A and B are shown apart, each in its own frame.
Chain A
Amino acid sequence: MPAVASGIEDKELIRRAREGGDDGDAAFRQLYERYVKDAWALLRALLRETARTEDALQETFFRVYLALDRVDADRPLRPWILQVARNVAIDSLRVEKKSARLARSRREEAGPAPDEDAMKGERAEAAREALAALPHEPRALLVARHVLSLSLAELAESWSVSERTVSERLREAAGLLAQAVAMRLGRSRS
């Protein structure tokens, strides 16, 4: 497999990957290595289960591969790959939603879990739960901004909205997170 120099631009890698052959494979591998951690972080935050995340990661890069011919190589690749990852996660979550709703209603019928109160005071656990409890869009936004450090411009590109809109959505997500954390900490609002 021919070596691919590190630091090479995405555009060049895309061009070579499109060409196919061993060099194309190597170029695609390099793109994969470059963005796999970002995609993993986003998918992991959205899907939470390792096995599902692995599958989604595989599907993400498979879709990326299939779309290489259509991608605009002059535009930043990272927001686009994260957009693909988000779409894959949403497809997967759609399946989960129905069963989760059923499970939730059964839980509600059964009453609160016995250790629920005991967990309330544990801040670290509460903090983790807070993020997990958010709807997937705000969660994805928070992860993309905080964990992946995407700029507003990159977020806007990835979400296909204006910077202003993405900024508003981020504020909204921040508000939801604050509420969730406050609620889980039992922080009094009265």
Chain B
Amino acid sequence: MKDCADFEALLASQKLGLLESKEELRVATHVRTCEECTRFARALGEALTAAVPDEAPVAEVWAKLSEQLGEHRDGAGAGAKAVGATGLRVTLACTFCHATTLPWDKVFCAGCLAPHHQECFEEHGSCSAPGCAERRFVRPELARAEPARRSLRGAAGVVFVLAAVGGAGGIAALALSGGPRTGAHPAVPPGSLEVPVGDAERPVKPRETPREPGAERPAVAPTATDDRQVFDLPPPALDDVPVTPSSTPPPPPSKSGSSREESRPGDSPSRPLEAPFVTHADLRALSSGAVQSSEVQADPIHEVRSVPAECLMEVHRASAGGGARLVSSTRMFGVWATNAFVASPDRRTVLVHGFGGFRLLREGREVAVRVQLLYPYVSWSPDSKRLAVWLGAGVAVVEVEDLFRRPETKFRITHRASQGRIGQGMTWAGPDDLLVLERRHEEGSRGESRLVLVRAAGSGYGQQTTLLETDERVEWFLPHRRSGRLEAVVYGTPRSVGAVDARAGSLGSIAFEVGEVRNVAISPTGTEVALLSNRGGTHVALLLHLGRSVAETLEILGSSSADGGLAFSRTGTHIAWSTLLRVGVRSVRDKDGGFVLTGRDLGYEKEIGNIAWNEDEKRLAVAVGERMLVLDVVTRRADVAAKVGVPGSIAAEPVWVGEEILFSVFTDAADRRKR
């Protein structure tokens, strides 16, 4: 078997004991018959084994540590107990990022001696102390010789030297039992540094250093030979320069007419499907050869590659009255896209996306787009004409028609996450605007988050507006649109649910202690938010009434409920939710006007999957085991619309198209051929 790429990530996950039983079985079955994957698994094992240190920690470390602790105790005064007894530790905080500086990573402004991480100084471009624009810094000599080893003693030396308050604009942080940092000014205690540093009273003026064009540019160039090292801040390196509009051609002028033709909430699909939705691709061709497609030139840092696969994403069309047919089979590019079936808002195009790319299917046409998606975020524009794709380094917006015409169309990066942050989600907020969530991703950070509105088309292309900036970790967000325009964004942190309006006006926190949110939906009216949440081990379905500041428990689901579906009806009058064991429906206003049904009530005692309301708000498509059911919420009677033969494989939310239901099934190509 040649097409093994799908199993690579699974094999790695297997080594880490992360696979579920189904996946284990699948991998085991494949590996038994595939020598190449057996070899690959061995290589993975070797890679992981390489992480086992081939040497033990040397005893010398303890000796040094003892010495250091001794020095520390001596510094704390004779008879001091272990460090906790005094609890006082004074360190210098970086003026720019406010994190503690370490001896080997500390520089001081040549003008005012404000401490910085070297990286922060360079990032800021000059001293970040208020009122100081010095572009040079000095570095303690210890950085030149045995930086790490000596640094530890240096750290110990600094520990108990009280920072003198005063000076011109640095910040010394007093970390007292983890307490808050102060805003005191620096702070270069005599004796705590191993070389004399500049005099704050006599600031060193920046020096212009002319450079020849094209001359090699050292990142940090020593410019003084006296008893301190002074460094000029270099111009930004090329890779620090935002690439967005400057390195790529500007987008074509806005097709303002067409881009504003988005449907309004409650509109019917633009037109019913007349022709076959997509062609039924040849299974044999799909499973034997490479998909015919040109590679898409993506972001330069992303590798473009073709990824053969063994799995299929099938799209079925089921009639509400019963009867179904397979309308498309698509090879998956990766194994992580088991629920990656996204229909365009006009229901004319289906996107199946995976770890290694995505495929577009529309009325007999297909195109495979291979692009490395580190984060499989793809979002349809409201007018169904454009796609926003997160390429890891940023968001690219592409005209869908261009992809059908010329799959080699280059992706343009419209927006890049800011330094130190990474994109965590993205969706269209309006006809021309994208809403992007960025989070700080370094270890030790709390996931400080930012919600940014980015102009992705038309005038002001590339401009961004920060809607929200918070120290907390934003874990999800939902745009609320009215008439296609962004009105507000509801977001969740581990602690609370908050909202912000489209003009970046905070609406404050809406709810607290909602627990770990597993799924969330906002009503079309924007006045209700439904949540499936794990609250201290108990899963619950919650309904928040934003306008009334009221939270209701829809259902207590118990301790072992899996993630489920949530859906508001078209006008937002009803909410439906599904979990592994049950499906519930009720009016958002009348807590007594609902019901909860189990699989047995529906006629099939199997796992309940995703749900979708029909436009008429009377019928609900419900995936149960290998069946797609239509549940009449008035009579509570369920009919089978389709049976696809593979239990538990119905993936992603079904989509109603008139009287038919589109849904996808993720299956193994070999299984499918057997069937």
Contact = CB atoms under 8 A, between A and B. Distances in A.
Residue of B50, B156, B308 ringed by the most chain A CB atoms within 10 A:
B50
A167 B17 CA distance: 10
A180 B12 CA distance: 11
B401 interface: no
Contact of A98 (B55, B64, B118): B118
Q: Is the interface on chain A under 10, 10 to 19, 20 to 34, or 35 or more residues? A: 35 or more
Given A68-B83, A179-B8, A127 B43 contact: yes
Contact of B52 (A18, A41, A55, A132): A41
B307 A189 contact: yes
Contacts of B306: 189-190
Contacts of B147: 95
A178 B52 contact: no
Nearest to A69: B84
B507 interface: no
Contacts of B36: 187
Nearest to B122: A98
B65 A130 contact: no
Interface string A97-131: 11001100100000000000000000110111011
Interface string B225-267: 0000000000001010000000000000000000000000000
B81 interface: yes
Interface residues of B, number: 77
Q: Is the interface of A mostly helix, strand, loop or mixed?
A: helix
Contacts of A80: none
Contacts of B308: 189-190
B672 interface: no
A24 B81 contact: yes
A183 B5 CA distance: 11
Contact of A21 (B13, B81, B104): B81
Contact of A190 (B9, B290, B441): B290
Contacts of B40: 181-182, 185, 187
Given A32-B65, A95-B147, A182-B40, A68 B84 contact: yes
A1 to B, nearest CB: 11
Interface string B460-493: 0000000000000000000000000000000000
A86 interface: yes
Given A62-B68, A174-B15, A54 B58 contact: yes
A57 interface: yes
Interface in A8-56: 17-21, 24-25, 28-29, 32, 36-37, 39-41, 44-45, 50-52, 54-56
A11 to B, nearest CB: 14
A167 B18 contact: yes
6 contacts: A24-B81, A50-B55, A127-B43, A137-B443, A143-B51, A185-B40
